[in-house]
Amino acid sequence: MTNDTNDTARRARPRQSNRARGWKIFVRDILLIFVAALFISFMIKTFLIRSFYIPSSSMEQTLHIDDRIIVNQLEPGLMPIQHGDVVVFKDPGGWLTATPPAQVNSFSGAVDAVLGFIGLSAPDSNDHLIKRVIGLPGDRVVCCNDFGQITVNGVPLEEPYITLPAGVTKATRDDFSITVPQGKLWVLGDNRYNSADSSFHRNDPTGGFVPTKNVVGRALLISWPVKHWTWLDNYPVTFHDVGTGSK
């Protein structure tokens, strides 16, 4: 009887040991998958695409405050910037007003930090700007002709994406006539009379120009809210005849 009991105990111990080992392997695999997913998300955010939110009304009605956008970070590193692209860029110098950091509790801050790490949140959106590229290096950009249109290299632009005050037909509030230097861009908001863009900053030390190296990437689509979901067009027909200035 005693021998039977001992045999049963010996058989039970391997089963229990195998079961414990199986759980350890399962937990290990879950942790490895989780770490790999975080790493892949981080690499995608760093080199391919990432999310930003819109903090101002300067791009209405194309983009609205708190819209979430997906940004292609291959442009301009591997893909050239084109006329009409909506780009996210770092402050070229004095365009943003310093604001104190928002107060958040430690849990919310930790969650936002993790989401920002993997590219699902954009805690640094307030440190960036978003505008539409109107002038590339070498372009001659002038506002405005007798019809209130901006011209690029002498070609007047029909701009279906802009928002103007009621009864206003002039494409921008301020007149300008500039040639875009090498390595720079001339950018304007779609909400032309409510956008601190290149024309607004034309008398600043930056001259209103944005260094190409400051561009984080091109905005591809609105990802949130769902009712705003759409691809962001760069309107190639508008800029079809513009060509480029001297290189």
Which residues participate in catalysis according to the annotation?
A: 58, 131
Distance CA 138, CA 43 (A): 34
13: helix, strand or coil? helix
Sort 221 into a burial class: Cβ within 10 Å, 0-12 / 13-18 / 19+: middle
Pairing of strands 209-211, 184-188: antiparallel
What six digits make up the tokens of 166? 């009621």
Cα 64 off chain centre by = 14
215: helix, strand or coil? strand
Alpha helix stretches (DSSP H) within the chain: 2-47, 106-118
